[in-house]
Structure 1
């Protein structure tokens, strides 16, 4: 996505001295201890949207959409088509056919209109509230996803059976129009374990290198950077094998 900019949300203490076109660092004060990190991420998203909402009220004109992702994600196709193809959503989440954690928090898209940013902020504030009241003692890597799903399923109009089919759909949740996109395309994860990874489906737009798969991310990037005849990152063949990854 050559026309996009990258903004790294981080704590004020970390020294991220980057000198790269289109990349900026935005320090946000908060609680970044390991047991509160996932909750802080949601709070940082809210702070970011508040900043953008204030700027939007001062300057009218060009609309900029936003996509929040984990740092272990690779975007391998233009995601701008999401906002063009689906016209009526405020924020987008990705889902999978998983009974306890169907909504993954690694990818959240927000339409850059005043209404889109405002309603996405209200939605995430509800998630943060649920996280604080219900899931602070959950595993440090799961609390935000459990809170997200709680907010979604608590809406009387929502039918969780829709998660069983990998098809995009829209649902009104707490006053926000939420677009649900299948993880199979917008948050795809390689299989884990020796000999299981042989490439990826051709329609994948976002790859999520979760857990021990993070070792594949650097390997894929190094291979991509060292090759001159690869036009994109589709179907890179990576080494098999499994190593334990410590968070």
Structure 2
């Protein structure tokens, strides 16, 4: 009987809880119905810059660094273009892995508020997530066409990824695999290997193929002709970019491969070893850094002497398990505008590639817009240099 009386009490307790909680519910409701309070809440939230913020140009007075007066470059860039470097029949193709997530924008009215909040503006253009990704891709292609008009872009993509790219210089190649966000960096290397296999099959006997290849991220701006790499350094199979970073000395956003049968085969062997190291040792960092950690592990395993050279700014070569690897300084071939505070020595005059990692992607679109309106590359680089420390919301 006591148990039965205890079971009858919860409805009364629940009623009391609701009565006591009603003032709280009403106050929260009034809070979100008050536009002024909503505005204050929005203002109180930390927000990254949604427009360019220009600061002083780093590297002022340093030799061999870009010097800017406002947005005007006051010294000349050291271009590595040379008619003597260009050989008829040589081409350089850029290869990227590209896929689109959540391509069903507008299909769910319940998520409309999220979509509106996700819209960003760059200049006079408005972008949602899919559109900004496509805008970055188009800017990537545009920069290549300015600096290397004879080059083309090959997009390795998930067969189920749906997007439209109307560019005569770009083609897509569907390669099956796991392109989920958590596996994308590993899949990227696997897609590179699958692509190399197709090229090996197409050029089994010829002494050279019709093109060399540079595997890159899509958030880079090529600002000079990179074809000279394959002539200035004629013996490498694979080229990587290095920086003075103890844990991540190699950046996977730029990998050059010589387009000969031997070069393609050796590059495949090298990347397969990177995949093995990635899968066995670095899957805990699979979403972001696994590929770079695996690259560094493979290089350090075969070339421990390279560690002393990563703090220099000079290209050097080494052999890894029969693969000739060229190491190029990031400062020239993979330069990144520093983000936030920190040591910053300016932009080298011989910079070839600018890499807009992370939240710098807005700056990439702003830079292209400026070049597109002025056709002045040095001044555009001043814009990048003076904006590099700002964290942009993109």
TM-score normalized by structure 2?
Answer: 0.58
The answer as to 2:311 corresponding to 1:164 is yes
Determine the C-alpha separation between the residues in 2 that align with 1:136 and 1:236: 39
Structure with more helix by fraction? 2
Contact 2:363 2:392 in 1 (8 A): no
Q: How does 1:128-147 map to 2 (within 5 A)?
A: 128-138=275-285, 140-147=287-294
Greater relative contact order (CA < 8 Å, ≥ 6 in sequence): 2
Partner of 1:155: 302
Name structure 2 gaps, 5 residues minimum: 1-147
The answer as to 2:391 corresponding to 1:242 is yes
Partner of 1:216: 363
Residues 1:60 and 1:42: Cα distance change in structure 2 (over 3 Å): same
Determine the C-alpha separation between the residues in 2 that align with 1:112 and 1:103: 22
Name structure 1 gaps, 5 residues minimum: none
The answer as to 2:376 corresponding to 1:230 is yes
Contact 1:6 1:23 in 2 (8 A): yes
Q: For residue 119 of structure 1, report the CA deviation from its aligned partner.
A: 0.3
For the aligned residues, what is the CA RMSD?
A: 2.3
Secondary structure (helix, strand or coil) at the match of 1:50 reads: helix
TM-score normalized by structure 1?
Answer: 0.91
Q: For residue 60 of structure 1, report the CA deviation from its aligned partner.
A: 6.8
For this pair of structures, how many residues does the alignment match?
A: 244
Residues 1:62 and 1:147: Cα distance change in structure 2 (over 3 Å): closer
Secondary structure (helix, strand or coil) at the match of 1:237 reads: helix
Out of 203, 226, 248, the position equivalent to 1:79 is 226
Contact 2:240 2:328 in 1 (8 A): yes
Partner of 2:198: 51
The answer as to 2:345 corresponding to 1:193 is no
Secondary structure (helix, strand or coil) at the match of 2:254 reads: strand
Partner of 1:126: 273
Partner of 1:109: 256
Out of 152, 176, 179, the position equivalent to 2:326 is 179
Once the two structures are superposed, residues 191-242 of structure 1 have per-residue CA deviations (whole angstroms, 9 ceiling, x without a partner) of 2138999973221000100111111111111221222x42577524147432
Q: For residue 148 of structure 1, report the CA deviation from its aligned partner.
A: 0.3
Larger Rg: 2
Contact 2:313 2:329 in 1 (8 A): yes
Determine the C-alpha separation between the residues in 1 that align with 2:259 and 2:379: 28
Secondary structure (helix, strand or coil) at the match of 1:178 reads: strand
Partner of 1:11: 158
Secondary structure (helix, strand or coil) at the match of 2:245 reads: coil
